[in-house]
Structure 1
Amino acid sequence: MKNTRFLVFFGLLLFSLAVSIKLFHVEATRRAIQEDVIELSKVKYGLFNIDEWKKVVARVVTAKVEELELTDANRSTMRKRINDLLTTVITDLESNFKRENEGSFKGFFKNAGASFLDIFGNMKRNIPEFTSQIMRFIDDPKNREDLREYILEKIDNYADNTFAETDYTLHNEILARHGIGSREETVAVLRTRASLLQAEKQPYSYALYAVLLLLMVVILAFKNIFRWELMVVIATAFLPLVLGILLPMIEIDARIAEMRFQLLGEQVRFSDQVIFYKSKSILEVVELMAEQGKPDLLAVGFLVLAFSVLFPFSKLISSLVYLSRKGSKNNKFLNFMIFKTGKWSMADVMVVAIFMSYIGFSGIVSEQLGQLEGLAKNADILTTNQSSLQTGFFMFAAFVLLSLAISQRIGDLKGAPYSSEP
């Protein structure tokens, strides 16, 4: 019976180890792909990118220039519009000429000469000929193409002299690394891969949760349990703890799902524009705080490290030593770590939750959302929040619950004499 129980517990430990390694590998691969997708989907390459706007304007200008093509259906309408425009322009020119030359001796002769020679009258009588010349100009495909290129050249020059150039270094590295094609094609393929890896990850996560739940039930419900069985459970508890501090706990993803508006009558659309993304593990949070070098951030980083890494590891190691060594019941340090620190059991979770909320919401407000203030009021904007808890959070929570069960069971053994038997 004892050998059977040993094989079962040890088998669960080996199974959990194998599942944890596979889970970590799949999640790390998925996360790397997801970060590439996020980078390529950032708003700096889309809505806030001058090169993208050049493409949009080029499409709109091309459409408008092509509308200048004369057909039997619009020829009479176009002729009337040009005729009316020229009439208005010449009439305004005549009024301005007379007004500017009023009140002076020299101006009097200019107005008199213009009236005597009937300059503006001749111009008005020639409006039909002017209109025909303009229509012949528009009717020439080469002239329309030259007009389009001229407008686009002016727009490019203005944009290049007004807006900062976008750094495409990381963008191009990602495209070259995957070798799929354009940004849109790469994003589509990588999203599919990330979804497949997410689906592949689920069975391993559920299997590990099931093992941890089973072990927790066993050590709490069984009256007779061997010390070595508790030690195997403690060794297993290291696995969700390691995964909890290495894998991301929360993913904050705020984006513009879709934005539509009209530009000179043409529909313009941007979709899946990431305006903020943050996904950090506990160790990455500590590293980030340390890199800042500020006293307040260093203090926060130390708290996260102490309560989420040092304290849990110390407690598990102390539990192993307590169960494996004779005379450990009288060790004050071991007794303190195992039995006197229960009230701190959830402090690590609290610190991580508060800090992750801080870096998430503070970052969204201060870094990204202010960029939307200048958008046109008549634009249709659909935003979405794809933030979610990640595997690291659930693994860390599972470790905390299992750790509480272990502490409870060791407490039940405190008054018993040391033995390898129950």
Structure 2
Amino acid sequence: MKTETQYQKNKNTLLSQLLLILVMALLLSAESYFGYKLYTLSAQQEQLKEDYSTANSITFGVFSLDLWRDKLSNIVTQKIKSFKVTKEQKTELREEVERQLHGMIDQVVDQFNKPQKSLGDKLKKFAFKQLVEPKELHQQVPSFAQIIVNRINAPRTIKKLKGIANTEFNELAEQIYDSTATAHSKVSSHLFKKYKVNSISTFNSSLETQLAEIRKTTYKYAYAMLGCAFAAICLWLPLRKKQHLHTPLFLMSLLFALALLIVGATVSIIEVDARLSTLELHLLGEKLAFTNQVLFFQSKSILGIAQVLIQQPKPDSITVGILIIVFVLILPILRMTARGIHLLCKPPIAENKVTRYLTFEAGKWDMADVMVVGILMTYIGLNGILQSQLGGLNMKTETLVTTTVNYTSLQPGYIIFVGYVILTILLSY
């Protein structure tokens, strides 16, 4: 009877363990699936934003001499084509011509009235006084001035003047250039072909739509991952004191934490995006505008930040990058592995110095929680600096209007990493 009771008890224990493992395995599978989708979408989002920022880079916009030349050329050319002399301008022109003609007559008269030494000059002076009456010349100035103004404003003359002005301006414009137009053309051609569009407006619209959809979806997957982890915690808290369920429950919980760590470390945690939204310059009565100019863009994961630091030539940057990988990524994985070994393996392995140290004492070197605070402080500081600097670029005058925007934000990877830290803290109790 006692044996049968013991058998039934063992059977119930095994069934409860299998049921727990099955439930936890289903939750872990779901969490892993959501994590994989989050990683994939995050990488896709980063690529889309890289392409978007490249196509709309300020290097190819406000900082491009070629683009300024083209925009200014269009304005000046249009002004030349539409040029017409107004009635007021004709009056001013006639008055100026009259003034010049009167001045010329006075100069000629003064020249002949000077004392002449040679016989020829004296004869010229005598003939001038006999044949020319300065007063009559002055009286004829208005009619001559009107004839000149009419000739200048003749359609044929205006057309010829416009042609000369256009030619001279185009020659000057051709001397102003840099290599950005060629580079932008190649980049745009590649990106348009990649995304199957034919204009920058269509390109921007397409990518903005995709990015908006991906952003919503990534947060859904992130919250779904955390939901699975929360469900595991809900099982852990009431069942952790049951001796027969403790080991499988703890081991499965470690796998949940491992999944959160891997995704949190490889998915983007912070995105820095600063843009010049609009720049409007009023010139020659026309509006010269630049829109959606990307000043700076970067999106990095914890692993990506470490890689960037390691690739720097400075020893201190390399050291910091290595420390991040060791104390934020490698050490937590080793600790979780050691805790699993301590529960599953026999005493010679479970109780050796390395396993015990990693399981019970290495926690003080685990910097994941410090990383969470560090990332948050970095975001707050960086966001504040960008807001201040971009605010200084905002101007509004009669001739110039500029508007900047700051899209810097924490990304789903940060939320997942925070979830990992919280889960590991709960598993420590």
- Tell me whether the two structures share a fold, i.e. TM-score over 0.5: yes
Could you say which residue in structure 1 is the equivalent of 2:69?
54
Could you say which residue in structure 1 is the equivalent of 2:25?
10
Could you say which residue in structure 1 is the equivalent of 2:9?
none
Deviations 1:5-63 (A, max 9, x none): 22111111111112211222222222211211111121112122223212321332233
Matched ranges for 1:21-420 at <5 A:
21-69=36-84, 74=86, 76-84=87-95, 86=97, 126-137=144-155, 142-143=159-160, 146-147=163-164, 149-150=166-167, 152-160=169-177, 163=178, 165-166=180-181, 167-168=183-184, 169-222=186-239, 223-224=241-242, 225-327=245-347, 330-343=351-364, 344-345=366-367, 346-350=369-373, 352=375, 378-408=399-429
Root mean square deviation of aligned Cα: 3.9
Q: Distance in 2 between matches of 1:288 and 1:361?
A: 23
- Report SS of the residue matched to 1:159: coil
Deviations 1:173-212 (A, max 9, x none): 2223223012222112111111122223232222111111
Q: Is the 8 A contact 1:338 1:407 kept in 2?
A: no
1:91 offset after TM fit, Å? Answer: 7.9
Q: Residues 332 and 83 of structure 1: is their aligned pair in 2 closer, same or farther, counting only changes over 3 Å? A: farther
Q: Distance in 1 between matches of 2:107 and 2:298?
A: 62
TM-score where L is the length of structure 2: 0.77
1:139 offset after TM fit, Å? Answer: 7.6
Q: Distance in 2 between matches of 1:359 and 1:240?
A: 26
Larger radius of gyration: 2
Could you say which residue in structure 1 is the equivalent of 2:8?
none
Q: Residues 124 and 20 of structure 1: is their aligned pair in 2 closer, same or farther, counting only changes over 3 Å? A: same
Q: Residues 291 and 123 of structure 1: is their aligned pair in 2 closer, same or farther, counting only changes over 3 Å? A: farther
Q: Is the 8 A contact 1:90 1:124 kept in 2?
A: no
Q: Distance in 2 between matches of 1:301 and 1:287?
A: 7
Q: Residues 97 and 277 of structure 1: is their aligned pair in 2 closer, same or farther, counting only changes over 3 Å? A: farther
Deviations 1:381-421 (A, max 9, x none): 1111110001111111111111122222xxxxxxxxxxxxx
- Report SS of the residue matched to 2:268: coil
Letter in 2 for 1:77: E
Could you say which residue in structure 2 is the equivalent of 1:418?
none
Q: Is the 8 A contact 2:394 2:404 kept in 1?
A: no
1:352 offset after TM fit, Å? Answer: 5.0
Letter in 1 for 2:220: P
Moved more, 212-221 or 236-245: 212-221
Which residues of structure 1 form unaligned runs of 5+? 99-104, 409-422
Moved more, 80-89 or 1-10: 80-89
Q: Residues 331 and 62 of structure 1: is their aligned pair in 2 closer, same or farther, counting only changes over 3 Å? A: same
Deviations 1:144-165 (A, max 9, x none): 76256325413422312xx554
Q: Residues 10 and 271 of structure 1: is their aligned pair in 2 closer, same or farther, counting only changes over 3 Å? A: same
- Report SS of the residue matched to 1:47: coil
Which residues of structure 2 form unaligned runs of 5+? 1-15, 110-115
Q: Distance in 1 between matches of 2:248 and 2:179?
A: 65
Moved more, 54-63 or 191-200: 54-63
Q: Is the 8 A contact 2:102 2:141 kept in 1?
A: no
Q: Distance in 1 between matches of 2:195 and 2:24?
A: 43
- Report SS of the residue matched to 2:189: helix
Q: Residues 127 and 354 of structure 1: is their aligned pair in 2 closer, same or farther, counting only changes over 3 Å? A: same
- Report SS of the residue matched to 2:203: helix
- Report SS of the residue matched to 1:68: coil
Q: Residues 353 and 388 of structure 1: is their aligned pair in 2 closer, same or farther, counting only changes over 3 Å? A: same
- Report SS of the residue matched to 1:253: strand
How many residue pairs match? The answer is 386
Q: Is the 8 A contact 1:219 1:405 kept in 2?
A: no
Moved more, 208-217 or 219-228: 219-228
